[in-house]
Copies of this chain bind each other. A is one copy, B any other.
């Protein structure tokens, strides 16, 4: 068994206990342990603030961008090993690429953006100078400067690589050092990536630290200069948001939590049409990619009542051909869930929905899957549910089953489609498939206040789409309410989460001097 160490204050340190055990998702074998017990979390923050922060702030954006590109290149040299590790959490080749290559791609995206679109400066200007006096010697202007604390990045288990790198890229580019905390079940991959980056010497001292295990009393030492970015469950998000020290010091918190994302089939889409085919394929993909373990995965499938049976027929036919088992095996499309707890939680969720849904496809308790040793793994076949009475069903809007499970809800008219979609209480993303531009407009502005992203699909766009569940670094990611109320990514928008916006006032000549590109 491997011991996942922590990287704290420039040293690799194991916890002073055996700690939690990580299991191979395909076979259930023990593969690693990790613990952070004994770490001095206050010292880690101090190390980041005094070592990493000043170094990054002395660099200008294109220099920080070059760091991101070097990080991407360094990780790219180790792809084979990283894919080997990703197999341990049950990823297919395609799943692992979304995670590993997707994460490295985010580094590359922000590296390019920083090199091409950001000034040779340590801070950003925001808008032009605004005259504030008639004679003209007093004006105002806004700038963004990096915060002087540490970015605490707490990630979810489903994307150990992408989740870490899509947060790390904007924060480093903004000029903040990070302490990264991967979720335990898949911490091996994050650990190995950090180890590669540190051992290769590309990371300036203090800019990147790693906690494998609990965050201990880390939050008790945060100030208004630190930022917490969290991806994970709504309940943990609530704990972070109401932590006394976080509340007292108005520590910035950016949360991306569970959500019950919907896909909506337009009333105009006929069975057998290209839109119907794209729609069905999209639902299938979202159910099976990473065994449905994506915050953005489709949980609720809204279809016009008169198309429900046609969709079920088309979808079930596709689901029948999905091979589930060891992803290393040729032809296997879907791997297992990450661990026993995830499997049990998914089965429990399906039970909780039992009162208002019927199972259309799949058996949550099936135990035989393709591949050797899979009887010890954490498999579930794709499960398609159908709400028996969409008007009254409630659990289907509340309980996120984090696995290969989706529920079909039939709707009667546009109002009901909107009402059902909005009952998710705030989601990361919704997709709508229709050629009817009036319907599209109504859905767009009806869904927008409750979402972070909307994919308004047509037969021309669908073949080129990056997919309902795929988060692009160009676009914001996050959603209101149930989805956590946070926002990440979105190209240059992502930097602002790690910077303070200030209004400067003074003589315009002085403001011009101050706002000219410079490292701080």
A interface residue numbers (CB < 8 A to B): 123, 127, 130, 132-138, 140, 142-143, 145-148, 223-225, 237-238, 241-242, 244, 247-252, 255, 257, 425-426, 437, 440-441, 444-445, 448-458, 460-461, 463-466, 472, 474-477, 480-487, 490-491, 493, 500-507, 510-511, 513-514, 520
Contacts and interface: CB of A to CB of B under 8 A. Distances in A.
A282 to B, nearest CB: 12
Given A224-B426, A437-B513, A475 B445 contact: no
B464 A138 contact: yes
Nearest to A515: B444
B502 A452 contact: yes
A493 B140 CA distance: 14
A483 B500 CA distance: 13
A361 to B, nearest CB: 28
Nearest to A506: B456
Given A138-B464, A425-B249, A472-B140, A440 B510 contact: yes
Contacts of A486: 250
14 contacts: A127-B491, A130-B474, A132-B472, A134-B464, A138-B466, A147-B449, A224-B450, A224-B482, A249-B482, A250-B257, A451-B502, A452-B502, A458-B506, A487-B501
Given A140-B475, A238-B248, A475-B140, A504 B456 contact: yes
A224 B426 CA distance: 7
Contacts of A491: 127, 130
A292 to B, nearest CB: 21
A454 B249 contact: no
Q: Which of A441, A444, A463, A503 has the most CB of B within 10 A?
A: A503
A458 B138 CA distance: 10
A520 B445 contact: yes
Contacts of A487: 501
Given A452-B502, A457-B506, A242 B250 contact: no
A60 B483 CA distance: 29
Given A250-B426, A453-B502, A458-B506, 18 more contacts: A123-B445, A134-B464, A135-B464, A138-B464, A142-B475, A224-B425, A224-B481, A225-B481, A249-B481, A249-B482, A252-B485, A437-B510, A452-B502, A453-B505, A454-B502, A454-B505, A476-B502, A477-B503
A82 B155 CA distance: 54
Shortest beta-carbon contacts, A-B, top 9: A224-B481, A250-B485, A133-B464, A475-B503, A138-B464, A456-B506, A461-B507, A445-B520, A224-B480
A492 to B, nearest CB: 9
Contacts of A241: 242, 247, 250
Contacts of A133: 464-466
Contact of A255 (B145, B147, B250, B511): B250
Nearest to A234: B248
A506 B244 CA distance: 43
B484 A250 contact: yes
A52 to B, nearest CB: 15
Nearest to A489: B503
Contacts of A505: 453-456, 461, 465-466, 475
A514 B444 contact: yes
A503 B490 contact: yes
B480 A250 contact: yes
Nearest to A487: B501
Contacts of A506: 455-458, 461
A501 B465 CA distance: 21
A136 B464 CA distance: 8
A445 B499 CA distance: 12
A504 B455 CA distance: 6
A246 to B, nearest CB: 9
Contacts of A224: 425-426, 450, 480-482, 485
Given A133-B466, A504-B454, A505-B455, A474 B238 contact: no
